Amino acid sequence: MKSNFLSICTAAVVMASMLFSCNSGSADKNNNAGANDSTQTTAIPAPRKERVLTAEEQAALTPDDVIKSLKEGNERFVTSNVTARDHSAMVRDAAQGQFPKAVILSCIDSRIPVEDVFDKGIGDLFVGRVAGNFVNTDLLGSMEFGCKVSGAKLILVLGHESCGAIKSAIDDVKLGNITSMLANIRPAVIASQDFSGEKSSKNEAFVNYVLKNNVIHTIKNIKDKSPILKEMADKGEIKIVGAYYNIQTGAVTFME
C-alpha cells in the first residue's frame, strides 16, 4: 500500500516536471514576438507570433506603450495582417497567471470582437462589455481589479458608430430593464443638445456626436466614482482614454 502511494507520488512529480518543461518549451518557441517584423529577409515572411505576457513584461510597460500597442494591433486588424496564435499553447501558458496590458470597456455590439479589433490574444486584455459602454459599480470594481490588483496600465472606453444603445437612448425607449439601462446613457444625450443639425436617431452625425459625448461622460464617471483609479491616473500609473470604432472599416480612432 505504502509503495503504491510512493509510486503514485513519484509519477505525479514526473508528470508535473514534464508539464513544466512542456510549458517552457512552448514559451521559447513562441518567444519571437515582433522579431520577424524587422529581421525577416526571405521572400515569404514567417507569420508574426506572440506569447502570453509575463509579470516582468507587464511591469515594464507604460500607459503610452499600451496605447501604441493597441493602435498597431488595430492597424494590423484593418489591413488583414493579424498575428498567428497557437491558442492551445497560449491557454497552457496563461494558466500560470494573468498580466494583461489594458482594460477595455466596450459596447456588447456583436460587430466588435474586441481582442480581434486590437490583434490581441489570450491573457492580453480585460474586457468589460455592456450596451452603451457606460460604467456602474460592478464595472468600476472590475476596472479597479484590472488595474490596481492585476497591473493593467490603461483603461480604454471604446464606443462605436451606429450604436443601437445610443440610438435607443436618443429615442428614450421604454422597454423592460432596457429603460433603466438607457438611463445611464441619457446624460450624454442631454449633453449633446448643442448639436446644430437634426437631433434624432435617424441622423448618423448626431448619433456619432452622442457616442463621443457618451465616451467622455463614461471617462468622467470613472474618475469621479473611483478614487483608486483617479489616483492611479493622477500619478501616471495608468491612463484612462476614449476611442470609437468605425463599423464600416474596423478602424479605431483614439480621442486623446
Q: Determine the Cα–Cα distance for residues 135 and 171; give it in Å rounded to an integer.
A: 21
Taken in order 212, 217, 218, 222, is the CA torsion positive or negative?
positive
Q: How far is the CB of 140 from Zn ion (least distance, A)?
A: 20
Go through 56-68 and write b for each residue having 16 or more CB atoms within 10 A of its CB, e for each that does not: eebeebebeebbe
Would you say 131 or 238 has its CB closer to Zn ion?
Answer: 131
Q: Are strands 239-245 and 252-254 parallel, antiparallel or unpaired?
A: antiparallel
Nearest-approach distance from CB 108 to Zn ion, in angstroms: 7
Q: Show contacts with Zn ion in window 84-113 (CB under 5 A).
A: 107, 109
Site string for Zn ion, 135-164 (x = CB under 5 A): ----------------------------x-
Give the relative orientation of helices 227-234 and 137-144 as an angle to the nearest 10 degrees. Answer: 40
Alpha-helical (H) ranges within the chain are 2-29, 35-39, 55-60, 63-78, 87-94, 114-117, 137-144, 164-171, 178-182, 186-190, 204-225, 227-234
Closer by beta carbon to Zn ion, 53 or else 207: 207
Residue 65 counted as an annotated binding residue: no
Site for Zn ion in 158-217 (CB under 5 A): 163, 165
Cβ closer to Zn ion: 90 or 165? Answer: 165
89 or 112: CB nearest Zn ion: 112
Label each residue of 208-247 as H, E or C.
Answer: HHHHHHHHHHHHHHHHHHCHHHHHHHHCCCCEEEEEEECC
Q: How far is the CB of 240 from Zn ion (least distance, A)?
A: 20
Q: Which three cell numbers stand for residue 107?
A: 459596447
Task: Tell me if 160 is assigned to a ligand binding site.
Answer: yes
Q: Cβ closer to Zn ion: 169 or 229?
A: 169
* Nearest to Zn ion of 172, 231 (CB atom): 172
Size of the site for Zn ion (CB under 5 A): 4
Is the alpha carbon torsion for 199, 203, 207, 213 positive or negative?
Answer: negative
Does 87 count as an annotated binding residue? no
Minimum Å gap between C-beta 188 and Zn ion is 12
Shortest separation between residue 178's beta carbon and Zn ion, angstroms: 13
22 is in an annotated binding site: no
What are the binding residues? Answer: 107, 109, 160, 163
What are the binding residues for Zn(2+)? Answer: 107, 109, 160, 163
- Give the binding site for Zn ion (CB under 5 A): 107, 109, 163, 165
